[in-house]
Structure 1
Amino acid sequence: MELTLETGRPSDTTGRLEKEIRVYDFLDSLNIPYQRVDHEALMTIEACKDVDKILDAVICKNLFLCNRQETNFYLLLLPGDKKFKTKEISSQLGVARLSFGNETYMEKYLDITPGSVSVLGLMNDKEHHVQLLIDEDLLKEPYIGCHPCINTSSLKIDMKDMMEKIIPAMEHEPIFVKLGQEE
């Protein structure tokens, strides 16, 4: 399949899910410019490598996490090539033990499924069940690559727009963390 970099939302939305269209509506309402690549379903960071090259943006690893009691939920954004250690993030947050969150909560709070996890899912979390965590190294990147809540498209968004317009509009104040300190 030929991967093509497009600007903005698809002109034909036939066959696209409502949650994907809501992302385009949201970005357009904020006047956020973005580029898009449509592709086959990508379930892992490794599968995103070709799309990464076309977007020329760091593909962001998005991890949906929770505490042992499943009462606190987190969305951790970190560079795709960075290793994640639960102990490291748990100690920075002062949380006993974090693990990967159940997909039931992921769908309930963010309206996304495994393989499609994205910071843009926070636009669906109106009741603020999920705390946004961002690895500081991600902020060094000029652009961020993320899914529009579905893993058959990837978006390239200016990091400045993400931090100054999109995240504030979703009303999720991030906590910044430093991962990879224990290497």
Structure 2
Amino acid sequence: MTPETASVPPATADDLFRFLDALGIGHSTKYHPPVFTVAESVSLRDEIPGGHTKNLFVKDKKGNFFLLTVEENASVDLKTVHTLIGAASKVSFGKPEKLMEYLGVVPGSVTAFGAINDKGHNVTFVLDADLMEHDTINCHPLTNDATTSIGRDDLLRFMEATGHRPLVLKVTG
């Protein structure tokens, strides 16, 4: 954590919505009981159309961090994904402390929208190509008690507005 970000609290869902509004990005949010896993969120599928996400916060042995955002039912081979994303070694899951420090979220609330909190550009964001075939992408808005729907191209615009150029790669099997 850098001195300039040490005392800045992470963005909230409302901060995220204001940021999207300022960019002219349309979004809609459905509030629901907190969900911690893909299995718990299945009941929302009929109510929220589009691609639903699963997020893997991983790191390599050199301390490079990546957020892999994939379609909820997709599988990622953690033994080989490093060859696709440019990691220095095989990857393992990042610690919750780094998740909070870099993305401003806790486990169960991991989201591509965490880019708004990555002021130091410590994380490489990877959006799976299969997920990006959906016109609408659904992500937690920094908490797991809501789902925010955003257009695929608008998600890319959001990422770029936070200073991140996400990699769009096929990382799922």
TM-score, normalised relative to structure 2: 0.88
Pair 1:46-2:39 in alignment: yes
Percent identity reads 28
- Report the residue type matching 2:152 in the other structure: M
Aligned equivalent of 1:101, options 91, 94, 97: 94
Listed as ranges, the matches of 1:127-146 within 5 Å are 127-146=120-139
**3-state SS, counterpart of residue 142 of structure 2:** coil
Rounded to whole Å, the distance in 2 between the matches of 1:47 and 1:168 is: 31
The answer to whether the Cα contact below 8 Å between 1:58 and 1:141 also exists between their aligned partners in 2 is yes
Q: 1:121 to 1:94 in 2, by over 3 A?
A: closer
Unpaired segments of 5 or more residues in structure 2? 1-9
The answer to whether the Cα contact below 8 Å between 2:81 and 2:90 also exists between their aligned partners in 1 is no
Runs of 4+ in structure 1 over 2 Å off: none
Q: Provide the aligned C-alpha RMSD in A.
A: 1.6
Pair 1:62-2:55 in alignment: yes
Rounded to whole Å, the distance in 2 between the matches of 1:135 and 1:88 is: 15
**3-state SS, counterpart of residue 74 of structure 1:** strand
Rounded to whole Å, the distance in 1 between the matches of 2:132 and 2:11 is: 30
Say which structure, 1 or 2, has more relative contact order (CA 8 Å, 6+ apart). 2
Rounded to whole Å, the distance in 2 between the matches of 1:122 and 1:143 is: 18
**3-state SS, counterpart of residue 147 of structure 2:** strand
- Report the residue type matching 1:80 in the other structure: E
The answer to whether the Cα contact below 8 Å between 1:64 and 1:74 also exists between their aligned partners in 2 is yes
